[in-house]
Structure 1
Amino acid sequence: MDDFLNPPPGWRYAAYPWFARDTAPDLPRLVQVGRVLLPEFFHLVIGTEDAWTQSRRDGAIYVDPGPTVLFLDFQVFEDEIDMAHATSAFFDLPEVYEKVRKIVRPNRWKQLGIHCMVRYLAEFTDEEGRPDTDVSAYDGAGLDRVSRRPEVALQWLDKLQTHAADAYAEARGTPPPKRKRVKLTDEFLQEVARIYRVAENTELPPTREVATHFKAPHSTAAKWVATARRRDFLPPAESASNEAARSAVRQAAP
């Protein structure tokens, strides 16, 4: 293992889903990048140990040598991982940047973020939900396990466990485990329709997004979409194409 993945004494590295300081209502979706799964949005924290062990109470302000904390936000887009922006806590960003870059070089930050995020996902799987090390999963009364196990967390577990089983089978040169046949319930097809519509609205290939979300072959996702249309969870294909054409005309009009 490269030395830069191990923090020096007095420092700690960690990664968490979503961007730093976001108050997102749910976990972001998992997407495959190369051979690993990653949240669509995640952030890396590089900080001194006291950033985790101390707290800020009653408006008290830390003074030097207080905690040094750098937050690095990453986003996965079209199979690429980009650093969206950086923020700091307690001290100005330039001052924190100068301290952190002496601990781990900036050209290593993305690799370090991926490493820490994969480690987080392993803990998420082992603990069947957001791990105890996830500081963003705490509230004033401590870790609320019930509220941290919504449906999307269960979807994470299923996808992570499936991905791990596939990777293990590939490493051993054996066929991947057989999948349970998906029941085309109204609830499932409504989710297919929701993902499809979101992809359309963001100008992404909708059927591909359905396939990616459920980790299914494109042909299977296309059948689910067709079934969702038949059950009126999506408009007929002709109506959808007509609406797309009208939208294109409106955008092209002066």
Structure 2
Amino acid sequence: MDESLKPPPGWRIAAYPWFAMDEPTELPRLLRVGSVLLPEFFHLIVAPEDAWRTYRDGTEGAEGWQAPVLFLNFQVYEGELEMTEARSAYQDIGVVMDKVRKVIKPEKWKLLGIHYMTQYLVQFMDEGGRPEGDRMRTHADWPVSDEVDPYGNRPKAAIEWLDELQAHAAEAYASARGTPNPRRKRQRITDDFLRKVARVYGVAERAGLPPTREVASQFKAPHSTAAKWVGSARRKKFLPPVGTPVYGAYDPTIERRMEIEYELHDSLKDLTPARRRELELELETLGGPVPGREA
């Protein structure tokens, strides 16, 4: 490990794939940030060793309830990682920020977030699921059932994580060796595919969403690849020239499908199972997922 990324003596740093103090019901999407994959949202914890919570078996420090514990929430937006919120435990956030700044400079916080979250993902891949060392959601005072644990029984989201992480690792290895990536499935750029790209782009633009980002999201591709597809769609005249709005008749059905897709997959709303099923049924009655969106 780079020495500059190690926690100061007497401190501990860790990252986990959900917002601090949340109770997630599913794993976030993995998104590309530069050359790495990161969860769409995650948090970093910076705290003294004795602040980590005591377990009933006595394996953790017991004197940390008044220590400065800093939670930093991060979110990936349009291919960039942003720190969205800072929270604290036991002490006022201002007091905690001042204490942490003295041992770790704020300009390193984002780099630490990337480093420790990447470490977590490597462990996740090596162990085929939630790392053994991840005790944040198995704390004796925070019981977890299969109904709310996003990792329990290797759910679909965890398996998708493993597939994406393994594909990304294979791609990085192939790139380092200068050889083709055998795992990467190339999208055939047909006219039919580019028409789908144009349709998603146009619906997103009319809905006020970032259209290229929406294309990337719908087809699960890097933003740079989505931009190339959009450029190809323009050359085929499936989209107007750059700077010209995408016109077309307003289709409330398509717009509603986009809204439902966003709420189900891309928003940060914590949907109840009943609400999620309600939206899925409505989507089915409207003709199913928006073109390009994989179920």
Q: Please report the TM-score for the alignment, with normalisation by the length of structure 1.
A: 0.70
Give, in whole Å, the separation in 2 of the partners of 1:13 and 1:131: 16
Give, in whole Å, the separation in 2 of the partners of 1:78 and 1:3: 30
Q: CA deviation at 1:213?
A: 6.1
Q: CA deviation at 1:153?
A: 0.5
- Identity of paired residues, percent? 47
Paired residue for 2:180, among 150, 175, 182? 175
Q: CA deviation at 1:149?
A: 2.0
Give, in whole Å, the separation in 2 of the partners of 1:106 and 1:33: 20
Paired residue for 1:152, among 133, 157, 180? 157
1:161 aligns with 2:169: no
Match of 2:137 in 1: 137
Give, in whole Å, the separation in 1 of the partners of 2:186 and 2:250: 30
Letter in 1 for 2:182: P
Q: CA deviation at 1:204?
A: 4.3
Paired residue for 2:217, among 209, 212, 220? 209
1:19 aligns with 2:29: no
Give, in whole Å, the separation in 1 of the partners of 2:42 and 2:24: 12
Paired residue for 1:242, among 251, 256, 260? 251
Q: Deviations over 1:48-85 (max 9, x none)?
A: 112225259xxxxx988833210000111011111111
Match of 1:230 in 2: none
Letter in 2 for 1:169: A
Work out whether residues 13 and 45 of structure 2, in 8 Å CA contact, stay in contact via their aligned partners in 1.
yes
Shift of the 153–245 alpha-carbon distance from structure 1 to 2, 3 Å rule, reads closer
Shift of the 154–65 alpha-carbon distance from structure 1 to 2, 3 Å rule, reads closer
Match of 1:233 in 2: none
Letter in 2 for 1:103: V
Letter in 2 for 1:13: I
Q: CA deviation at 1:143?
A: 10
Q: Deviations over 1:69-124 (max 9, x none)?
A: 10000111011111111001111111111111111101110011111111110011
SS at match of 1:138: coil
SS at match of 1:38: strand
Give, in whole Å, the separation in 2 of the partners of 1:139 and 1:208: 37
Shift of the 6–150 alpha-carbon distance from structure 1 to 2, 3 Å rule, reads same
Match of 1:185 in 2: none
Give, in whole Å, the separation in 2 of the partners of 1:150 and 1:73: 25
Q: CA deviation at 1:214?
A: 9.6
Q: Deviations over 1:120-150 (max 9, x none)?
A: 1001101111112223331536898971521
Give, in whole Å, the separation in 2 of the partners of 1:73 and 1:246: 31
Say which is worse superposed, 94-103 or 142-151, in terms of deviation. 142-151
Q: Deviations over 1:26-66 (max 9, x none)?
A: 0100000110000110111001112225259xxxxx98883
Q: CA deviation at 1:3?
A: 3.3
Q: CA deviation at 1:211?
A: 1.9
Shift of the 245–172 alpha-carbon distance from structure 1 to 2, 3 Å rule, reads closer
Work out whether residues 129 and 148 of structure 1, in 8 Å CA contact, stay in contact via their aligned partners in 2.
no
Give, in whole Å, the separation in 2 of the partners of 1:128 and 1:246: 39
Give, in whole Å, the separation in 2 of the partners of 1:246 and 1:218: 21
Paired residue total? 213
Shift of the 27–214 alpha-carbon distance from structure 1 to 2, 3 Å rule, reads farther
Match of 1:67 in 2: 67
Q: CA deviation at 1:242?
A: 2.4
Give structure 2 stretches of 5+ with no counterpart.
57-61, 188-199, 231-247, 257-295
Letter in 1 for 2:220: T
Work out whether residues 52 and 64 of structure 2, in 8 Å CA contact, stay in contact via their aligned partners in 1.
no
Match of 1:124 in 2: 124
